[in-house]
Amino acid sequence: MPVKYYFYFLIIYSFFPTDCLAQFSLKFDLESGIYGTLNEPLENQIKIESRIDGKLKYNYHDDNRVASIELRARPEIFGINNGLTSLKLKSAGSYYQYEKSFSWGINFSGQSHNFHSSEISSKYKMLDISGDISKILDSLNSILLKFGYSNRIKNTSALLDIELIFADVMWLQNFGPGLNFGYGIYIEKFSSNYDAGFIFNNYLKQNNGLRYGPAIMVDFFGSFILRGNYYLLIHDSDITKSTSLEHQVNLAFGKKIANKLSLILLIDYYQNQFRFKNNFNTEKHLYFPSNLENQISAKIAYDISSVTELYAKSGYFNIDLQENESSFSGWNFVLGIQFSY
């Protein structure tokens, strides 16, 4: 699906009924700090990082409909002299229709992520289209089905184009006020094309396969907030053995520890254990996940006012640059300020 049609669809969202409740919101973060890493690309750099993260969002809702459009930009720089620069752009939209015991929705997102340094130049583009259907079975049980299409393009020293369709089914159970657990299964069919061009004498390779496995999730809202999921996937394709595994963990914890002080913990983790049917290293580039950034971080935030927040954040990060099997990893400590309108 051409990206331009996706943006046309987002424009349609602006023509909502005049009797709906609509609201624009703007949020942006300014942060800077220090980092430490042993990676060769930035080994001799002064260890200073800075970034700006801005997000503009439009929301509307009426009695049984909710929709939103979001635009986001995040430029950042690591190191001062010929360091690593990164620019992430994202646009997204969603629409949900709610009934008494049944709801459905559609989601769109498009994003690009560019990395550049004196030794590395990587560009990524991703388009995701998905649908959600949920059904309440009784007061304690419900079922959620998510399905969709994704296209991912990586442009480094070679070109990698991935198309996939997926389905994610989750059984949700309520175990008390604010506490829900989910158990489900994920299945994905993908096809990738790898073109190294003149670098390897017009080397072109395709790979088709399946990713599937169990998933669990937890969601709690009470004296603190906890949301997380874990996917254990088998990666079975033309070039990988069926014993190849992938692990994906996402966890967010938040708690108010004083009147204007809060603590937030975030974990985003992905790891693969590919076992190949032969020994060609280039085959490792025939798939990459939607999230290239692993992190484990802790954030202390203080509310100065209803629109301004000061915070300190520290943790571990690992960015998969997907260029000659390079990664940029280490620890960081930043101070920041957030404005919300």
Specify the amino acid at residue 36: G
| 10 belongs to a structural domain | no
| 50 belongs to a structural domain | no
279 DSSP 8-state letter: -
257-277: b or e for each residue (b if 16 or more CB lie within 10 Å)? eeeeebebebbbbbebebeee
Q: 331 or 17, which is more confident?
A: 331
Question: Looking at the 3D structure of the chain, how many domains does it have?
Answer: 1
Whether residue 247 is predicted with pLDDT greater than 60 in this model: the reply is yes
Specify the amino acid at residue 174: N
| 28 belongs to a structural domain | no
Name the H helices within the chain.
Answer: 3-12
**In the chain, % of residues over pLDDT 70:** 84
What do you get for the CA distance between the two ends of the chain, in Å? 34
User: DSSP per residue over 11-37, as a string?
Assistant: HHTT---TTSEEEEEEEEEEEEEEEE-
139 DSSP 8-state letter: S
Location of structure tokens 């994003």: 111
| 109 belongs to a structural domain | no
C-alpha distance from residue 3 to each of 9, 116, 124, 126 (Å) = 10, 24, 14, 10
Please write the tens of the pLDDT for every residue from 305-329.
989 999 999 999 988 776 666 678 8
325, 331, 333, 339: CA torsion to nearest 10:
40
| 140 belongs to a structural domain | yes
C-alpha distance from residue 22 to each of 58, 68, 213 (Å) = 7, 9, 40
Location of structure tokens 């966890």: 251
| 271 belongs to a structural domain | yes
Alpha-carbon gap, residue 134 to 180, rounded angstroms: 15
pLDDT at 203: 55
Q: Please, which residues have CB within 8 angstroms of residue 132's CB and are 6 or more apart in sequence?
A: 96, 103, 104, 105, 106, 107, 144, 145, 146
pLDDT at 272: 87
**Count of CA atoms in the C-beta half-sphere (13 A) of 212:** 11
Please calculate the CA angle 6-11-14 and round it to the nearest 5 degrees: 145
pLDDT at 101: 87
| 146 belongs to a structural domain | yes
Report residue 112 CA to chain centroid gap: 12
Alpha-carbon gap, residue 190 to 3, rounded angstroms: 19
Over residues 118-138, mean pLDDT? 90
Whether residue 39 is predicted with pLDDT greater than 70 in this model: the reply is no
Please write the tens of the pLDDT for every residue from 167-226.
999 999 999 899 999 999 999 999 998 877 654 555 557 889 999 999 999 999 999 999
Name the pLDDT band for 16 (thresholds 50, 70, 90): very low
| 71 belongs to a structural domain | no
pLDDT at 38: 63
Closest to 308 (Cα-Cα) out of 260, 264, 340, 263: 340
pTM, 2 dp: 0.86
Note down the domain range covering 274.
Answer: 121-291
CB 79 within 8 A of CB 115: no
